[in-house]
Amino acid sequence: MIYEVKVNDLAEEFGVHRNTIRNWINTGILPAQEGPGRRYLIQWEDYQRLCNKYGREPRFIPDPATPGESAAAPRLPAAASSSPVRLDVKANSLDTPLDLINLCLTCGSCAGACPISGVDELDPRKIVRMAFLGLEDELVASSWPWKCTLCGKCEVVCPMNVEIVQLLRRIRALCERDKVPAAIRKGVVTCLEKGNNLGIPKDDFLALAREMGEELARTSCPGFVTPIDIRGARLLVTVNSKLPFAEPEAMTWWWKIFYAAAESWTISSEFWEGINWGLYAGDYGAMRTIVKRIIDNVERLNCTALLLPECGHAYYATRYALERWFPESLQQFRIYTVFDLLLEYLNEGRIQLDPSVHTKLTTFHDSCNYGRHSLEAFGHGYFEEARTLTKACCKRYVDLVPDREENYCCGAGGGAWADPFGAERIYHGRVKARQISVSNAKLVVTSCLNCRDQIRYALNREFNLNVEVQFLWELVANALVMNSPDAMEVRHD
């Protein structure tokens, strides 16, 4: 039995350099004849002897159905293939081809850029290599895809454009559901069963929303009424369940901006959450269901625009799902980012901002989802918009280095704020902490709840940063110049 083999394939199989294989051939350790197309012809017995010598199971086995076969390539066992990259077996995975894995040069740039590389032997280069070799079970069983924040810093530096984040998302998707970190799994299940991640009952949410509206009317927005289920409102706005649960006043920053901009907007009484942990869990069925509920709300309330102000991942997951599964919806309504909408208000003169209210040296932390992930998936990363808005609210501004597409993750992305790997999250965040520290900024502005909490609570405490952290819309709300109610046409009461 003879079979044809490429030097590169054998080198991969035995984990050695291709020159080593050539040396084995040249010195007779591996008897082989040159064959067509830069391949070598090897006797099965010689190949088996080599496997025995290095303690490996033969990856190629003779076809028992053709015992007399000669001068032909042997059949591969069912588990292997000529292209072992096969992490695409889930029909519902976030699917782009993984072919580019084959192009990996093993240069290690990804490992050098990854803030968590080396922790528990996590190494993006190794992950790519294991995927290439078909070590899917080992990858799925590891904790690496959950300790990785899916930040994409590794991808930015990869000279071969290997889609490392896509690979890691796919490994998450292949994980048995009971192996998904419990908090993430619970968030998804609760959202599917009760309509929001924290299972807040409808009546409690509505009562709180109305109460917060009354408070806003008393303090700064006379006549304000929380608009719930307003049919024909222009803009449907989702809510992050962490806000009504833990800091309900944070909901009113957006409400104040809408009031000042005389926006026609509404919240839905059903399925008001925009958070979508299906993206984190690799559960694309859940992701699709949650987005479909939002689409149904837009249609039911006859809105023409949607804002998901919770977090970068909510925007990314929803926009991705709209483009992937519901493209016709994008013809029916517009999906805004927080940046698009605030800039629209500013550019149209619907809001005025007073930068003198923020005097601290201020910086902006780019979220991975609004930044490089949106750039890659949708063709536009929200870098400059964030700076324009921040500078409109603050007198003194400084950028972090590096930033924009090359920014470092805060350490809490990809569900890491919720998962059990707290020490790894802090370790990852040390790079962000150092960036902030050397910038001398005393106010950090961000567009994600997870980024805000990681920097405000975890990094401040662990690295003595002593910085204030605000949402972009909190910053804007605090800098608003409020016109008299008579000057504004309040359309939502």
Question: 421 and 147 in contact (C-beta within 8 Å)?
Answer: yes
* Nearest-10 crossing angle of helices 472-479, 338-347: 20
Task: Output the CA torsion sign for 390, 392, 398, 399.
Answer: positive
How many residues belong to the chain? Answer: 493
Using CB under 6 A, which residues numbered 52 to 81 contact ligand SF4? none
Residue window 115-134: x/- pattern of binding to ligand SF4, with contact defined by CB under 6 A: -x-------xx--x------
Measured between alpha carbons, how far is residue 318 from residues 90, 199, 311 in Å? 20, 20, 11
DSSP assignment letter at 193: H
Using CB under 6 A, which residues numbered 363 to 402 contact ligand SF4? none
Distance of alpha carbon 257 from the chain centroid: 27
Does the footprint of ligand SF4 cover residue 21 (CB under 6 A)?
Answer: no
Does the footprint of ligand SF4 cover residue 158 (CB under 6 A)?
Answer: yes
Residue window 308-337: x/- pattern of binding to ligand SF4, with contact defined by CB under 6 A: ------------------------------
Instruction: Out of 153, 319, 372, 452, point to the residue binding ligand SF4 (CB under 6 A).
Output: 153
Strands 334-336 and 362-364: unpaired
Instruction: Out of 48, 109, 388, 478, point to the residue binding ligand SF4 (CB under 6 A).
Output: 109
Distance of alpha carbon 26 from the chain centroid: 49
Least distance to ligand SF4, CB of residue 96, Å: 15
Count of residues interacting with ligand SF4 (CB under 6 A): 26
- Taking the C-alpha atoms of residue 425 and residue 433, their distance in angstroms, rounded to an integer, is 12
Stretch that binds ligand SF4, among 143-151, 316-324, 342-350, 434-442 (CB under 6 A): 143-151
Does the footprint of ligand SF4 cover residue 420 (CB under 6 A)?
Answer: no
Least distance to ligand SF4, CB of residue 418, Å: 16
Least distance to ligand SF4, CB of residue 85, Å: 13
Using CB under 6 A, which residues numbered 162 to 181 contact ligand SF4? 162, 164-165
Stretch that binds ligand SF4, among 102-110, 197-205, 359-367, 485-493 (CB under 6 A): 102-110
Lookup: tokens for 213: 């509206």
Of 116 and 436, the one with the shorter C-beta distance to ligand SF4 is 116
CA-nearest of 360, 192, 353 to 281 is 192
CA-nearest of 180, 191, 197 to 282 is 180
Question: 236 and 265 in contact (C-beta within 8 Å)?
Answer: yes
Residues that bind ligand SF4 (CB under 6 A): 104-110, 113-114, 116, 124-125, 128, 148-154, 158-160, 162, 164-165
